[in-house]
Amino acid sequence: METVWPLLAEARRWKEWTFLGRSDLERSGAPDPDGVGAVRRFTRVGVGSREEVVAWEPPGHLGYTMISGFPVRNYRADVVLEQEGQGTSITWSVRFDERVPGTGRVLTAVLHRIVSGFATGLARYAARTTA
């Protein structure tokens, strides 16, 4: 968990292990700059999202909401890290309401692919950096 948490929790590090070209803080949070209240900005080729950190419990839980960048309402994601033997279990859950009626199934599929890619990328990068 000591290796995985900083990769997940520090916005500027996301570009190391995701497909994102830019990852940074738009506004600092508390008690850590990446903590509660931080606004994170992630982009790739000029398209991206802005998210606000709403849960910060090192080294095991990061929660965030979507401010802009995806056509949904009430988006909330929670990432829970748990020690599992010599490794770390990553549970990444997302919930949202569709903004446009009838788009929920498509958006769920798209978000599942993105979030699964994030979790896989995080796990692989952490494994390489500790090997």
Give the pLDDT of the chain (131 residues) as one tens digit per residue.
Answer: 889 999 999 999 999 999 999 999 999 999 999 999 999 999 998 889 999 999 999 999 999 999 999 899 999 999 999 999 989 999 999 999 999 999 999 999 999 999 999 999 999 999 998 76
Tokens representing 17 are 């292990």
Q: From the options 3.40.50.800, 3.30.230.10, 3.30.530.20, 3.30.420.40, give the CATH code of 4-130.
A: 3.30.530.20
Residues 10/32, Cβ–Cβ less than 8 Å: no
Q: What pLDDT is attached to residue 46?
A: 82
Residue 59, helix vs strand vs coil? coil
